[in-house]
Amino acid sequence: MWDYSEKVLDHYRNPRNVGKIDDADLIGEAGSLACGDSLKLYLKLDGEKIVDAKFQTFGCGSAVASSSILTEMIIGKTLDEAKKITNKDIAEELGGLPQEKMHCSVMGHEALEDALKKYYGEEIEENLPETADKIVCTCFNVTENQIWEAIKVNNLRTVEEVTNYTKAGGACGRCKGTIQDIIDTYYKAEHKKEEAPLTVTQKILKISKVIEQQISPELQKDGGDIEFIDLEGNKVKVRLTGMCQGCKNSRMTIKTFVESILRDKVDKNLEVEQV
């Protein structure tokens, strides 16, 4: 018997937003009946905002719970915000899923991604490897890009973990060797990335992106904000605005906070200076 969180059980017993939206603006699909579970996600938009979401699924209790919570997570969000949701977020929102059931959260993410792809075109796949998306696991119809994405988002290290998250490898096992190759290729590429020093332009772009996407939203929660001004050597010059501007006593905390994120995401030698 799997160990399910209360939230999983609640969403399984009382699934929210089940059904179909007849005039849906976007529809996303994932899985297939032949592979044991499938999900169809319907989105209704008002401009770029998701105002309604419904789902139809054929699958186990975790698939129902993952789909149900996903609809709650995306209703009220903009498409840009929804695009940032990962399978990890879905599982976390449910209070966790048993490892063997993580593929249900992946199916939710894939259906969402499929719907958003129709809005954004193929742009959403820009971070995936430049290979044709070939089927690796024919038993479950799982592609190379799906495996790559699951490894990347969830830091998967073993074939068994990939099976838990994507189902690939869970039947005849013929694809296990290829899955291992994908894992090896992914971590080799990651290792190379870590070793290659960034050029100044790459560093500036990365700092701007981290500030814009990760640091600024955190500071905005308290009515403040941050502006990236310049990079001189390893010194990142920033300007604090809004509520953060007056945080004289906590400047050190904000500096430490910003510095720790930039060191973690960009370069461990960076120092933050407020101008």
Query: How many CA atoms are closer than 13 Å to the CA of 100, on its beta-carbon side?
Result: 7
Find out whether 69 and 87 touch, Cβ atoms under 8 Å. no
Quote the CA–CA distance of 262 and 206 in Å, as a whole number.
9
Min CB(58)–ligand FES separation in Å: 20
Structure token pair of residue 69: 């919570």
Min CB(119)–ligand FES separation in Å: 31
Query: Would you call 94 exposed, middle or buried from its count of C-beta atoms within 10 A (0-12, 13-18, 19+)?
Result: buried
Which residue reads 């291992």 in tokens?
180
* Closer by beta carbon to ligand FES, 178 or else 250: 178
Within 10 angstroms of residue 91's Cβ, the number of other Cβ atoms is 27
Min CB(162)–ligand FES separation in Å: 10
Is position 139 annotated as part of the catalytic site?
Answer: no
Within 10 angstroms of residue 2's Cβ, the number of other Cβ atoms is 12
* Closer by beta carbon to ligand FES, 138 or else 256: 138
Residues engaged in binding ligand FES (CB under 6 A): 137-139, 168-175
Query: How many CA atoms are closer than 13 Å to the CA of 142, on its beta-carbon side?
Result: 31
Is position 104 annotated as part of the catalytic site?
Answer: yes
**Residue 165, SS3?**
helix
19-29 b/e (C-beta count within 10 Å ≥ 16 → b): eebeebbbebe
Q: Which of 104, 137, 175, 244 is catalytic?
A: 104
Helices and strands: H and E segment counts in the chain: 11, 8
Phi-psi region of 91 (alpha: psi -120 to 50; beta: other; left: phi over 0): alpha
* Closer by beta carbon to ligand FES, 32 or else 256: 32
Min CB(35)–ligand FES separation in Å: 10
| Helix then strand then coil, % of the chain, to nearest 5 | 50, 20, 30
The residues assigned a catalytic role are: 35, 104
